[in-house]
Every structure is written in C-alpha cells, then in structure tokens.
Amino acid sequence: MAKEKLNENNFEKQSKSYQPKPPYVLNCMKAFIVGGLICVFGEALSQMYIHWFGFSEEKAGDPTVTTLILLSALLTGFGIYDRIGQFAGAGSAVPVTGFANSVTSAALEHKSEGIVLGVATNLFKLAGSVIVFGVVSAYVLGIIRYTWSLFF
Amino acid sequence: MTFLWAFLVGGAICVIGQLLLDVAKLTPAHVMSSFVVAGAVLDAFDLYDNLIDFAGAGATVPITSFGHSLLHGAMEQADEHGFMGVAIGIFELTSAGIASAILFGFIVAVIFKPKG
C-alpha cells in the first residue's frame, strides 16, 4: 500500500496506521475480571472488619482502604503489581490499589536521587493529578451545592 | 449477593476505564483524574451513595469513590460551618487513604530496591 510522504500535517494520521490495534474485547474482559476480583477482595475485607473488629458499615471503608493500600505498596515493592498491571490494564489502575501503586512506583523509580529529592519529592508525581482534580472539583461542587441549599 | 454485585459493578467501572485507555487513547493519569471528577459529580447529585448501598466495595474500592468521599466530607462540615466548612471537611473522609498511601509508599520506597 503506497503511503503519502510524511510531513507535519499528515503525521498523526499516517502514524496511526502503523500502530497495532489493541484487542479491545480481550482487554476489557481482563480489566473486568481483575478489577472485579479486587473489589470482591475489598468487600471480603470490609465484611471481616464489620463482623470481627466491630466497625460500623460506614466506618469499615477506612481500614479496608488502608489494608488494600498496604498490600498494593508491598506488591509494588516486590515488582508483582506491575506484572498484574501489564495483564489487567485499567483493571488494576482504577481500583484504589492503582493509586497506591502509582505513589510507590514513582517514589521507587527516583530512589537513586536520594530520600529527600528522589523518594519524597516524587511520591505524588503520578498520583498528584488525582488529588488536584479531586479537590478542585469537590471544592467547586461543594460551594455550588451549599449555595444551592441556602436558597432552596 | 453483595459479593456478586461488588464483582459486577467494580468490574464494569474498570471496563469503562479500559475503553477510555484503548478507544479514547487517554493515559492512565487522565483516566484516573476523570474518574475522580466523575465520582464527585455523581455525589453532587446524591447518586453515588445509591451505588454504594447496592454494590458495597464494588463502588468504594474504585478511585471514583475518592471524589465521592472528598465532596461528602466537605458537605458534612459545610452544614455546620458554612462556606468555610467545605475547606475544613474536604479531606475528612479521605484522610485514612491519603495518609496511608504516603506512609506505606514512603516506607516501601526506602526499603525496596527498584526492579527493572
């Protein structure tokens, strides 16, 4: 198949035809199963905290999330979580474990630059966007909702 | 029964994320940021709580619940302290998650050697 000569105008369109097409259905199935299993594990944890440790249903989220983050940080340290991530794609990135993975892996990656400038500075390199967008949107929506509740 | 719904709802949220990665060609950071904003918007209309009642951890484990908890904590304090409450309460419910992510992330990064 003859291709046009590459120039800056058609580069994006032309380069797309060279990229492999991702197997959409297979990727979605992997993400569904791994993501679903992480949530089932989280549900099992919160049932455990409710029945054995006396947490209320609302408060059980805190120890559950903390446990998931601890496990995910450890698995990232051992290099296992990244292998799960290659298999599962969004299935391991979207649960809160993916948030902990991005914190830990960014810090590990820059460890050679030292504890302060490497680990501590880069801890939120990837996860920072999540917190920034979360806080900005929640702040704006909170102000709007509160203003609304004053008048209606 | 909760386990089945947790699996189906949690899996479905991850499939939406996978489609955003594959079809819309977003980066994982863009997907996670969009999900947090989506969680906050759903909570602004009181929809996310219904999902949690229905699916349990299927709704609280995905990152969308981070946005929901941010707004939820803000609204709780706003009822008490007015506009300033939004700022006071915004991290109230997410504090456990953020604090433990910082603590465990830091400890693991100090102890372990980078792989690959």
- Quick: pLDDT tens for A5-24: 767 777 777 777 777 777 88
Distance CA B29, CA A94 (A): 10
Using CA coordinates, name the residue in chain B closest to A57.
B56
pLDDT at A2 over 60: no
pLDDT at site A49? 94
The pLDDT tens digits of the residues spanning A40-97 come to 999 999 999 999 999 988 888 899 999 999 999 999 999 999 999 999 999 999 999 9
CB contact under 8 A, B15 and A127: no
Give the pLDDT of residue A68: 96
Q: Is the pLDDT of residue B72 over 90?
A: yes
CA distance A64 to chain B (A): 9
Token duo for residue B87: 């700022």
Number of neighbours of residue A108 by Cβ within 10 angstroms: 25
Tokens representing B30 are: 């863009």
The half-sphere exposure of B13 on its side-chain side, counting CA atoms within 13 A, is 35
CB contact under 8 A, A46 and B60: yes
User: Can you tell me the distance from the alpha carbon of A62 to that of B34, in angstroms, rounded to the nearest whole number?
Assistant: 23
Q: Which residues contact A142 (CB under 8 A, 6 or more apart)?
A: B71, B74, B75, B78, B86, B90
Under 8 Å between Cβ of B48 and B42: yes
pLDDT in tens, A141-152: 999 999 999 988
The per-residue pLDDT of chain B, averaged, comes to: 92
Mutate to test the interface with B, among A43, A59, A147 (most CBs of B within 10 A): A43
Q: Could B74 and A139 be called an inter-chain contact, meaning their C-beta atoms sit closer than 8 Å?
A: yes
* Predicted ipTM > 0.90: yes
Residue A38 CB contacts under 8 Å (≥ 6 apart), including other chains = A68, A91, A92, A95, A97, B10, B61
Structure token pair of residue A135: 């806080």
CA distance B8 to chain A (A): 6
CB pairs under 8 A between A and B: 267
Q: Closest Cα to residue B13, out of A36, A38, A41?
A: A36
Which pLDDT score, from 0 to 100, does residue B116 have? 59
Strands (E), chain A: none
Cα pseudo-dihedral A84, A66, B21, A83, rounded to 10? -10
Q: Is the model's pLDDT at A3 over the cut of 60?
A: no
Using CA of residue A109, residue A80, residue B31, residue A28, what is the dihedral sign? positive
Residue of A nearest to B96 (CA): A62
Closest CB from A30, A76, A142 relative to B71: A142
pTM: 0.89
Residue A16 has a pLDDT of 72
Residue B30: C-alpha distances to residues A31, A130, B114 (Å): 17, 9, 25
- Contacting residues of B for A34, CB less than 8 Å apart: 14
pLDDT at B1: 80
Residues B11-20: pLDDT tens digits?
999 999 999 9
- For residue A30, is pLDDT > 50? yes
Question: Per-domain residue ranges for chain A?
Answer: 25-124
Q: Is B25 left (phi over 0), alpha (psi -120 to 50) or beta?
A: left
Judged against a pLDDT cut of 70, whether residue B68 lies above it is answered with yes
Q: Return the structure tokens found at B27.
A: 């980066």
Contact between B108 and A108 using a beta-carbon 8 Å cutoff: yes
